[in-house]
Structure 1
Amino acid sequence: MPIRHSVIHKIDKKPDGTPAVLFLGVSEQVENQARDDLMQQFNESYNATAGKAWGFFHAESGAHPLSGWLGKYLAGGSSFLEFSTTAVEHLTKLMEESNLSTGGHALFCHYQQGLTDYLVIALVQETEAVTMTEELHLMTVKRLDLDHIRLAARINIGEWQNNPRSLQYISYLKGKQGRKFNEYFRDFIGCQEGIDGPGETRTLLKAFSDFVESEDMVDEAAREKTATLVNYSMAQAKIGEPITLDELSGLIDEDRPKSFYDFIKAKDYGISDTLPPDKKTLNRFRRFTGRAEGMSISFEAHLLGDKIEFDEGGGTLTLRGLPTQLTEQLKRASS
């Protein structure tokens, strides 16, 4: 993960209502192992954090100037330090106007992952940790709390520049600290919500279930393909990358790599060719299977409690919304 530029500023904002004090970094972070480890840990924590949203820039304006400053820097019109300084001054102003009490270390980092450039902006708090001195004495030190990131955004620079109609080149944490707290940071980024990650993931899983049913797969094949979908999607979530339908389709059926992709497009499910994976939704998508005395049962875990009810005491399943094909067979058999 080559780091092109990295700067850290500090906003000291106390809860007693006193004005914020901005301490500007006078230079970029020096290239060393500590800097690289910091960004590696940050990315791992950011990717693992639930509750993200995806969006795109508002049109550049006085209310949303960050995209213009970023564009100027990328075009060579300013240095990264100048860009970050202008941006953090604006962030401090918005923090004051919102009357929010939490400051922190403002991290700006431009790095490359694979063939793609990203910009990360985050407000990171400090926490205390206990360490051991060379004399084997315990000592309390302050460290950046990368385990509890509350305000952060990541901009896919390549996607923004090469696909300006995209609705998902910015990801940001929605968090649980309140709407006002989240919105001032989203306003600072100049981001509007575009893609509904959980909704897109649910639609993908619905399309997959329909595809499995249309292919009339045996249980073992259905389980294998479900595992392929979930494992691939979870791996993408872990590295902070989107699900690519074309790539997923090839993994699901290597002999017919376009079959699932063509099925989705033919049925017009309305999902994008790339979509952000939602881990919470994926975790619910597992299959329960079982065979006994000529009976075979297989269904996705997310149907439990919805279309399928389990009575543990009686050892029975109640099914709703039976497939039309099965219903017709049952009607013919009972007539």
Structure 2
Amino acid sequence: MPIRHITVHHIHKTPNGSVSELSMRDTELPESACNDDLLSDLNESYNSKQGKAWGFFHAESGAHPLSGWLGKYLDGGTDFMTFSKQAVQHLQKLMDESNLTVGGHVLFCHYVQGMTDYLTIAVLHHSQGVAVDEHLNVSESQHLDVGQLHLAARINMSEWRNNPKSRQYVSFIKGKNGKKVSEYFRDFIGCQEGVDGPGETRTLLKAFSDFVESEDLPNDAAREKTQALVDYATSQSKLGEPISLDELSELIDEERPKAFYDHIRNKDYGLSPEIPADKRTLNQFKRFTGRAEGLSISFEAHLLGSKIQYDEESGVLTIKSVPTQLAEQLKRST
């Protein structure tokens, strides 16, 4: 991931302090392996976060000026440091208006992944540790704790500039239980939610289950296709990339690479060609299995509550929409 530009500023603000202090760098960080390692660790932490949201910019205004400054920078009307200073001063202003937040080191990084330009903005904090120096002396040490990432956003600048109708070129950490502490950061980015990641992922899994059922596949084939979906979606989630329905369709059935894609379009599930992979929803896409006294039952977890009902009091499991193959066997036995 080549870094085009990277810098860091510092906003010092105590939890209950009304006024912050801002220290700004005058130049970009010089090229170094440390920068590369920091970006790699930051991306890994960001991609692993659950509860992210995807959206797009509000129209540029006094309340939401970031997109205008970013556009001017990309058009060559200003340089990266000027953009970062404008942005961090605006962030400081919003921090001062919030009594729910503390400051931190604010990282701005413009980097390239593949053919795509990204901008990551993150508020980082220090963690206290212990280090041993070359003389074997033990001393306290501070380091940036990218693992504890709560305020961060990633902007797909290529998608923003090349696809104006897109509603998912900005992602940001939404915060657990919609904490208000992250709302000011969303306002700082100036974005609104455009895609329901968990909802889209659930719809995709529903479409996949319907597809498998309509194909009347043997159990082994169904498990193989399920694993292909989970592996691909999980991989995309780790990379911070969306699920491409085209790519997924090819992986699910190499002999008929358009079969699943056509199923989605013909049934009109309302899915976009690319959807964000929601890690929490993917983790719930697993199988319940049980075997006892000649009875073997296995089904995907997301079917519980829809096609499969379980009454805990009576211990009764009700199955709706019995698979065609099983239904035929039952008919022949009566």
TM-score (norm 1): 0.92
Aligned partners of 1:69, 1:279: CA distance in 2, in Å?
32
1:118-152 per-position Cα deviation (integer Å, ceiling 9, x unaligned): 00011111111211111111111111110100100
Aligned partners of 1:300, 1:155: CA distance in 2, in Å?
34
Aligned partners of 1:331, 1:227: CA distance in 2, in Å?
29
The answer as to 2:317 corresponding to 1:318 is: yes
Aligned partners of 1:132, 1:223: CA distance in 2, in Å?
50
Q: Secondary structure at the match of 2:4?
A: strand
Q: Tell me, yes or no, if the aligned pair for 2:16 and 2:99 is still in contact at 8 Å.
A: no
Q: Secondary structure at the match of 1:235?
A: helix
Q: CA deviation at 1:305?
A: 6.4
1:222/1:331 Cα in 2 relative to 1: closer, same or farther (>3 Å)? closer
1:54-110 per-position Cα deviation (integer Å, ceiling 9, x unaligned): 000001111111000000000001110000000000000011112334000011000
Q: How does 1:173-212 map to 2 (within 5 A)?
A: 173-176=173-176, 179-212=179-212
1:92 corresponds to: 92
1:136-192 per-position Cα deviation (integer Å, ceiling 9, x unaligned): 111111111101001000000111011111111000001138632111110100000
1:123 corresponds to: 123
1:248-295 per-position Cα deviation (integer Å, ceiling 9, x unaligned): 000000000000000000000011110000111111112346789987
Q: Tell me, yes or no, if the aligned pair for 2:123 and 2:152 is still in contact at 8 Å.
A: yes
Q: Tell me, yes or no, if the aligned pair for 1:304 and 1:310 is still in contact at 8 Å.
A: no
Q: How does 1:142-153 map to 2 (within 5 A)?
A: 142-153=142-153
Q: Tell me, yes or no, if the aligned pair for 1:150 and 1:173 is still in contact at 8 Å.
A: yes
Q: CA deviation at 1:325?
A: 4.9
Q: Secondary structure at the match of 2:195?
A: coil
2:141 corresponds to: 141
33-42 vs 95-104, which moves further: 95-104
Aligned partners of 1:17, 1:53: CA distance in 2, in Å?
29
Aligned partners of 1:220, 1:332: CA distance in 2, in Å?
23
What is the aligned-residue identity percentage?
Answer: 59
Matched residue pairs, number?
A: 333
One-letter amino acid of the structure 2 residue matched with residue 267 of structure 1: K
1:178/1:228 Cα in 2 relative to 1: closer, same or farther (>3 Å)? closer
1:42 corresponds to: 42
TM-score (norm 2): 0.93
Which stretches in structure 2 are left out of the alignment for 5+ residues? none
Q: Tell me, yes or no, if the aligned pair for 1:17 and 1:101 is still in contact at 8 Å.
A: no
Aligned partners of 2:253, 2:326: CA distance in 1, in Å?
29
1:32 corresponds to: 32
One-letter amino acid of the structure 2 residue matched with residue 320 of structure 1: I
320-329 vs 226-235, which moves further: 320-329
Q: Tell me, yes or no, if the aligned pair for 1:226 and 1:286 is still in contact at 8 Å.
A: no
Q: Tell me, yes or no, if the aligned pair for 2:121 and 2:152 is still in contact at 8 Å.
A: yes
CA RMSD of aligned residues (A): 2.5
